[in-house]
Structure 1
Amino acid sequence: MDLQLIAIKIFRVLFIFVSLLPISIYAKGIEIGDKQVLESKILGEEREYFISLPTSYNQNNYSSYPVLYLLDGDMNSFFQVFSGMVNQMSVDASPTIPEMIVVGIVSQNRVRDSSPTHPLIQYGGTKNEALHITGGADKFIQFIKEELIPKINQNYRTSAYKVLVGYSFAGLPVIQSLYTTPETFNAYLAIDPSMWWDDQHMLKQLSHFYQSPKLNKRRLFVATTTRVTEVYPKEN
């Protein structure tokens, strides 16, 4: 299967389930993933993450798997939904995607880690001093690239193909990663990203990004809704 199509195929089903949250799908006695902790020198703090392995992972010792890195990936939120759907879509009688390792990165300070710039203006145009913590997306991306990904590659049988997924405000570091470190991931899924941020800062970077050398087989899938029509032109 052409792994370049992973992002679109995953999203077609996952977006439906994301829109249904917050539906509780806890099931006692069922192990969904393994919780781990990484001491980050880049962030200066411990970071929690969850690991979900493919069904066939422990059935052999030679297969390698692509990895889906999920932001906002704590156990009580998106991790259960994404890992469950990835498993279902990959082991069905007619699988639509390859089996994948899912890494859910817990949101420890969502506003700080997701924001690529440091404004004090919130949605709606009013000033909010609580936004003084913003602007940490680049450091967060560096943590994923230089500490988390090598850790996952060291401990698990991973292939070279990687996908980064983020929803709403966590969609901003997905696009920022594509802008600044496009070599890190093969596919980027930004689900209803907060493109209003900092006077549409991310959208304004597009023209400069398009002038960069042509990317080699990188994919960006952006899903939007009509709730922010002033940000997205109608023809898009």
Structure 2
Amino acid sequence: MLVFVINQNKKPLMPCKPSKARKLLQAGKAKVVRNTPFTIKLLFGSSGYTQPVIAGMDTGSKVVGCAAIANGKVLYQSEIYLRENVSKKMEQRKMYRRTRRGRNTRYRPARFDNRGNSRREGRLAPSIRSKLEAHFREKMFVESLLPVTGWKVELASFDIHKITNSEVSGVGYQEGDLKGFYNVKAYVLDRDGYTCQHCRGKSKDSRLHCHHIVFRSNHGSDAPENLITLCETCHKALHNGEFKLSGSKSKQTCN
């Protein structure tokens, strides 16, 4: 365990041992400025000597990992869990706004064409911007504790098409499973032979639905592997809890 130290000008210095920090506090040469992580501020002038400190960050969409080392010793490490409720809160705000503006109150000028922010070049969606700003906040926080001399950031770049088909190359990237179909729904219906995958057409219901195996509310995707064709009769029965889907592949079995 180490105690972080900043000088009189709030510039970070090298951390010290708890015993050293305790002596400085007892002698009145330092004061506590933060409890978590425990940080003290020197009340006297110091030489300002520091060592090279390298910080690293593992970026992510849900969890961010961060650490800092000096002379092969870990000085700081943390995990930051990013917000996942931004979109839902915006939907809630939208609902309250519509309710408020729909009331029979005094005249309000039209506000449908004043969204300049949404047309700004380089604009990021609020949920993405929230995650990006969380990365920068952690970076600034680490730099406020330690005299960081350099950063190493792990940027994950995945070729999803290559993962599913290791032999893909060139124009093959443009010739995926959805080639020739209007959208994902059209592909799923064709893949399943325009037949309900539960009753196999026994219900004689011609109205078909593309059902999400893992619900969108549970972070299920719109990928074909998460969609299955069900007739409207079976679709309603499924949501009423009369049967359950088993498995997670595109071809499902129903209990």
Higher helix share: 1
Higher strand share: 2
Q: What TM-score do you get using the length of structure 2 for normalisation? A: 0.24
Larger RCO (CA under 8 A, 6+ residues apart): 1
Q: What TM-score do you get using the length of structure 1 for normalisation? A: 0.26
